Amino acid sequence: MLAAVVRRAVAGAGGIANLRRLTGGATQETWAFDAVVADRAMPLILRRAPGGNRLHEQAAGLETEALLIGLARQAGVPEPRILHVLEPQDGLGHGFISECIEGETLGRKIARDDRFAGVRKTLAHRCGAVLAAIHNIPAASLPPLRRAGARTRFEELHRRYRADTVPRPVFALAFEWLRERIPPDPRPLKLVHGDFRNGNLIIGPDGLRAVLDWELAHLGDPGEDLGWICVGSWRFGETDKPVGGFGQREDLLQGYAAAGGGQVELSHVLFWEVFGSLSWGVSCSAMTAAFRSGVDSSIERAMIARRASECEIDLLELILPKG
């Protein structure tokens, strides 16, 4: 079925080769393959809903993802070209086919490997500039998206926490810390990527090549993206470099302001960094129940579940700093 789709979508394609599912990605399928065009192979990617049709309740939808990637590309964000959005007659469910961008996505390697030492010097500044471009995409050009400002995001997360039967006093403390500091929503709400972090970026020796995983995109507070990339879990051991394990918050915000994103106070980023640490901690804690119930008994699920304790440490260091 995929070969038939490619023959229709790619000029001169006679079929496909080397189809393989890639590791990584907790909620969507990612397949790599080659479109065979004359005597050459064109590397492509299929991003598809699990089983073709299983959709996350808060996900923007893969058709919307494809539209957002196209809009971001037009706005100067490094993104792959979308070649085809799956249609019902294709028989493959929900998804899209894009060109393949070569590069590294493993956050630990981006934060630590010597081959990226030069890139890391300016990567936080570059991420700030890219986020400014995303947040400045005109609302009138966007497809319908979920609206979720700071208070809505707080209430959604608190409901998820209450649904978990495991009491976590540090999480409860963090919720009260956030409740007292919920910022007013910007007017109008802006496009928020929702998962902009080290691990969802394709990096090459020349720098940032693509931004991945738009499934949590929504209209909200741009500070959410700025805080999320600073969450401790995405530093991969490089704790003295809060932006993805490769840079400083000041560089991120300078890049953001220089690219037209406006001035953002560190206190605002801190709110969303605490929120992000708590959000990831709640997600990890919920995976414990999924593992114990047998819904997902994979070792990967258990390994992620135990990271809730790491988030507790991160939260205490953020809201109860030494001294």
Assign domain 107-319 to its CATH superfamily. Answer: Aminoglycoside phosphotransferase (APH), C-terminal lobe (3.90.1200.10)
What are the structure tokens assigned to 57, written together? 């309740």
- CB contact at 8 A, 18 and 6: no
Q: What is the mean pLDDT of residues 152-173?
A: 92
Q: What is the pLDDT of residues 46-70, one digit of tens each?
A: 999 887 676 666 678 899 999 999 9
Q: What is the pLDDT of residues 284-320, one digit of tens each?
A: 888 877 777 776 677 777 788 888 899 999 999 999 9
The reply to whether CATH 3.30.200 applies to domain 2-99 is yes
Q: How many Cβ atoms are within 10 Å of 26's Cβ, its own excluded?
A: 11
Nearest one of 241, 244, 153 to 197, comparing CA atoms? 244
Domain ranges of the chain: 2-99, 107-319
- Domains 2-99 and 107-319 fall in the same CATH topology: no
Does position 143 have pLDDT exceeding 80, yes or no?
yes
Does position 157 have pLDDT exceeding 70, yes or no?
yes
Q: Maximum Cα–Cα distance for the chain, whole Å?
A: 67
> What per-residue confidence (pLDDT) applies to 39?
83
Three-state SS annotation for 16-81: EEEEEECCCCCCCEEEEEEEEECCEEEEEEEEECHHHCCCCCCCCCHHHHHHHHHHHHHCCCCCCC
SS3 248: coil
Task: Quote the mean pLDDT of the chain.
Answer: 93
> What per-residue confidence (pLDDT) applies to 111?
97
